[in-house]
Amino acid sequence: MVELHDASTIAAVIVEPMAGSTGVLPPPVGYLKRLRELCDKHGILLIFDEVITAFGRLGHATASERFGVTPDIMTFAKGITSGTVPMGGCVVRKHVYDAFQTGPDHVIDLFHGYTYSGHPLAAAAALATLDLYRDEGLFERSRKLEPYIAQAAMSLKGHALLQDIRTIGFVAAFDLAPVEGLPGKRGFDAMRVAFHEENMMVRVSGDTIAVSPPLIAEEKHLDEIFEKFGRVLDKVS
């Protein structure tokens, strides 16, 4: 892309360090490090969208920490309040901060004009959530259970409807064989059956279903989740 467009026309590269929203696609080994090197070489900012990956989903505070690659800007949301109250934000490194702080001292730092910026309710929920993550060791727990969730998800291997199973951290994804001529229908049906018949919320992305248990889930809950998902697969076959 740099060769095609010239680095001077590229301000930043934004990636999800693990592509969660497109179906749980772990990065190829060394991919993020190489991206960091290329961005450094050409003076391009690297942005990690950590809306899904931060706060324990990959067994660490951030995917950046897990993969040992530090972006210039990081976005976050969901896990910061464990979804209890809407909140999102971004963290920047000092050189980005300094670039914005060229005005007088009395202006607001990194000003964003949102109606609900820094809302006290969301801030309280975030602080309480961070306390729980620390006190209950939930990032470590997610890291410890990573092999268990991988094994539990892989127990569905061989089901005729499954084209691929991927897991990383505390998340698993299943690619379902599409209904011919109706892409997305099988995934949508699976989500509907999971929700209405198995009391289970899953995320659908085309014909891919992502299962992202709460970080407090224990082994027995993971067993239950994948048992239920096995029944969902049977029902939408």
Ligand X SMILES: Cc1ncc(COP(=O)(O)O)c(C=O)c1O
**Under the rule (CB under 6 A), what is the footprint of ligand X?**
16, 20-21, 49, 51-52, 77, 88
Shorter beta-carbon distance to ligand X: residue 87 or 190: 87
Q: Which is nearer to ligand X, 73 or 179 (CB)?
A: 73
CB 206 within 8 A of CB 22: no
**Of 3, 66, 13, which Cα lies nearest the Cα of 39?**
13
On the 0-12 / 13-18 / 19+ scale of CB atoms within 10 A, 90 is middle
Identify which of residues 20 and 56 has a Cβ nearer to ligand X in the complex.
Answer: 20
Closest distance between ligand X and the C-beta of residue 128, in Å? 19
Pair 217, 171: CB distance under 8 Å: no
| Under 8 Å between Cβ of 72 and 45 | yes
Least distance between ligand X and beta carbon 172 (Å): 16
Q: Is the dihedral of CA 132, 126, 128, 93 positive or negative?
A: positive
Name the residue nearer to ligand X (CB basis): 12 or 177.
12
User: Minimum distance between the CB of residue 22 and ligand X, rounded to whole angstroms?
Assistant: 9
Closer to ligand X by Cβ: residue 110 or 177:
110
Distance CA 67, CA 136 (A): 23
State the minimum distance, in angstroms, from the CB of residue 55 to ligand X: 13
Provide the 10 A C-beta neighbour count for residue 178.
15
CB of 111 to ligand X, least distance (A): 18
